[in-house]
Amino acid sequence: MKVLMVDTTHGGAVLASEFSKKQGFEVFAWDIYHTLSSEEKAALEDQNVQLVDASFLDKYSQEEFKNPPETNTFGTGKGDESFSFESGGSTIFDGGKSGFEANPLRTAKNDELLVVAPVHCNIPYPVHMTHHEAVRYLLKDRIRVPVIEVTGVKGKTSAVAILKEIYRDENPLILSSLGVEIVKDGRVINLLKDISITPASIITAWKLAEEFSQKENFRVGLCIFESSLGGTGLAEVGVITNIAEDYSIAQKKSCASKAKAQMFESKLVVCDHDSYQNIYSQSSNSPTLDQKTNTYSLQEGSNLTVSHVNYGLFKTSFLVNACDLKTRDGKCINTSFECSTFAPADYHLENVLSAICSSLSMGTHPETIIRGLERFKGLPGRTSINNHYFAAHGGVRVFEEINPGINVTAVRKAVNMIQEYEKPALVLGGSYGVTCEEIDERSLSKYLEQVSKEITVILTGELGRSINDKMNSKLIYHSQIDQAVNKARDKGALNILLIFRSNYADLRRR
């Protein structure tokens, strides 16, 4: 069977390599963004992967594309049914008309072409399988431990970091935008830094864990995977943290919420209440989805809520309330318990709730969750307090929000948080090309013009320069982050919020 792997930039090279190792496949790869190095091309060709361009697909008639390979349905991973989501008259995600079962060769013909492409890729040809589905096909018989998958517009990395603390004693394998890690005997070991969270990175993470296990006396007990734009269906519990801003993908032909609907291929799904009610519950399959979904919210009306919240700079305490919360083993939980952890603002607490709801859905005991939350002190370089700056500069605190996918909603929430503290200031900036997500610079510039009347605002980096160019009243600008932060301190700020659109790996080099 012929397989065309589209987009070698976002994991297609890994997928093409894996398909080339399976019998019965003739594998082609399309470097649609022209990013493959000569070494990477040679490595693929050594595995008998044939590199092609757009002209390759022109050889196939439209009639052939109207009839994809007769390979039945892909199945639904851990779930029981295939789902098709529709909202506002348009299909959000069809989980039962693409892909194939464990043995695709039983019905597929050798001359048929299976087109595999990421959900964000817009090509003028029918796509039979997404990259997420390809990962499930390649790993579903290899991963024999529980899996939690996390996607969402905001809070993915933070939720994974909290889950890592909750499951620290269970030898977890963790994939996040911060890297691939395992925890052995309570000690975190980094296997690979600076990795993307494309679905194919799950394969990379699992292979690294297999290699580590062969060298060390180690066995993975649980997988926690952060994934962009959806889930693979490998998970017992799939998590959609939120759809804070439903940004467009595939050259504006689709959007984030549609892609992330793939997470409903998981056995159980955890989703923030607003996203579920406003988007996913509107589908024709909502009665079925309700049976496999747990929601969480700061307000009442969800399966998991909070009360008696006491926010603090370093520790926030609260009461968790679970109502009719479903677990992966078919039980229903109604309970409440007290927790405390690092969550200085409501949007931090929402990330914490996503991790708690996920853990309870897994059937994890509340005491284990409570201990894990107590260990969580923030995510260095993402959401944390820079204690080094505090010690070196006479008690001036810097709240760091370093995120490659920062958007206007996140900025508003963070500014609301810093305004609760004495003499606040905002330092905002960043780089381009760190994520596929777009940021609405005009909306952000209008907001900053408004908030600059209330607190000191200083811009930095490429993003800061571009925003300043769009503003009617120019703000203070420094090209270097450290200079911008020091300027805020010189203007009398005691609590500085640093929002920087970047990968933390890049920021560490400053």
Residue 433 has pLDDT above 60, yes or no: no
3-27 in b/e burial notation, b at 16+ Cβ within 10 A? Answer: bbbbbbbbbbbbbbbbbbeeeebbb
Average pLDDT, the chain: 86
Q: Is the pLDDT of residue 366 over 80?
A: yes
Confidence of residue 440 (pLDDT cuts 50, 70, 90): confident
pTM of the model: 0.83
Asked whether residue 91 carries a pLDDT value surpassing 50, the answer given is no
Instruction: Kindly tell me if the per-residue pLDDT of 373 is higher than 90.
Output: yes
- What band does 286 get if pLDDT is binned at 50, 70 and 90? confident
Joined together, the tokens standing for residue 180 give 């691939």
- 3-state secondary structure at position 76: coil
Angle between the N-to-C axes of helices 441-451 and 408-418, in degrees from 0 to 180, rounded to the nearest 10: 20
* Weakest mean pLDDT among 29-38, 114-123, 163-172, 323-332: 114-123
The helices-and-strands tally (H runs, E runs) of the chain is: 18, 26
- Tell me which residue of 335, 316, 317 sits closest to 325, measured CA to CA: 335
CA distances, 144 to each of 183, 216, 223 (Å):
18, 19, 10
Q: What pLDDT is attached to residue 61?
A: 54
pLDDT > 90: what percent of the chain? 64
- Please name each of the domains of the chain with its CATH number: 2-130 (no CATH), 383-507 (3.90.190.20)
Hey, how many other C-beta atoms are within 10 angstroms of the C-beta on 317? 14
Q: How far apart are CA 283 and CA 97, in angstroms?
A: 17
Tell me if 57 sits within 8 A of 126, measured CB to CB.
Answer: no
pLDDT band per the 50, 70, 90 thresholds, residue 386? confident
pLDDT at position 334 is 98
pLDDT of res. 438: 62
Question: At 374, is the pLDDT very low, low, confident or very high (cuts 50, 70, 90)?
Answer: very high
Are 26 and 111 contacting, i.e. CB atoms less than 8 angstroms apart? no
pLDDT of residue 64: 58
The yes-or-no verdict on residue 459 having pLDDT over 60 is yes
The contacts of residue 346 (CB under 8 Å, 6+ apart) are 298, 413, 417
Counting Cβ atoms within 10 Å, is residue 324 exposed (0-12), middle (13-18) or buried (19+)? Answer: exposed
Cα–Cα dist 1/3, whole Å: 7
On whether the CB atoms of residues 290 and 277 are closer than 8 A, the answer is no
Residues 6 or more apart whose CB falls under 8 angstroms from that of 394 comprise: none
**Which of 311, 274, 322, 285 lies closest to 152 in space, CA to CA?**
274
Distance of CA 65 to the CA centre of its chain: 32
Closest-CA residue to 412 (of 451, 442, 460): 451
pLDDT digits (tens, 9 = 90+) for 73-87: 333 456 544 445 444
pLDDT tier for residue 19 given thresholds of 50, 70 and 90: very high
Lowest mean pLDDT among 99-108, 185-194, 243-252, 490-499: 99-108
Count how many residues are written for the chain. 510
pLDDT in tens, 54-70: 888 887 655 555 555 54
Q: Which residues pair with 338 in a beta bridge?
A: 319
Q: Say what the pLDDT of residue 508 is.
A: 43
119 vs 96: CA distance, rounded Å: 15
* 93 has a pLDDT exceeding 50: no
- The secondary structure of 178-226, three-state, reads CEEEEEECCEEEEEECCCCCCCCHHHHHHHHHHHHHHHCCCCCCEEEEE
Residue type (1 letter), 175 = L
Q: In this structure, are residues 333 and 360 in contact, taking their beta carbons and an 8 Å threshold?
A: yes
Express each pLDDT in 216-268 by its tens digit.
989 999 999 999 888 999 999 999 998 877 777 777 777 878 888 899 999 99
Fill in the DSSP letter of residue 379.
B
How far apart, in whole angstroms, are the C-alpha atoms of residue 136 and residue 301? Answer: 33
- For residue 211, give both structure tokens: 């290699």
pLDDT of 480 reads 92
Q: Per-residue pLDDT for 182 more than 70?
A: yes
pLDDT band at 100 (very low <50, low <70, confident <90, very high): very low
Terminal Cα distance for the chain, rounded:
49
Q: What is the pLDDT of residue 95?
A: 46
131-173 pLDDT tens trace: 999 999 999 999 999 999 999 988 999 999 999 999 999 999 9
pLDDT at 51 over 70: yes
Find out whether 466 and 427 touch, Cβ atoms under 8 Å.
no
Question: What is the rounded CA–CA span in Å between residue 450 and residue 156?
Answer: 29
User: Is pLDDT at 403 greater than 80 in this prediction?
Assistant: no
User: 255 in helix, strand or coil?
Assistant: strand
Residue pLDDT, tens place only, 269-278: 999 999 999 9
CB atoms near residue 382 (< 10 Å)? 19
Q: Is the pLDDT of residue 215 over 90?
A: yes
Relative to beta strand 237-240, strand 268-272 is parallel
d(CA 451, CA 447): 6
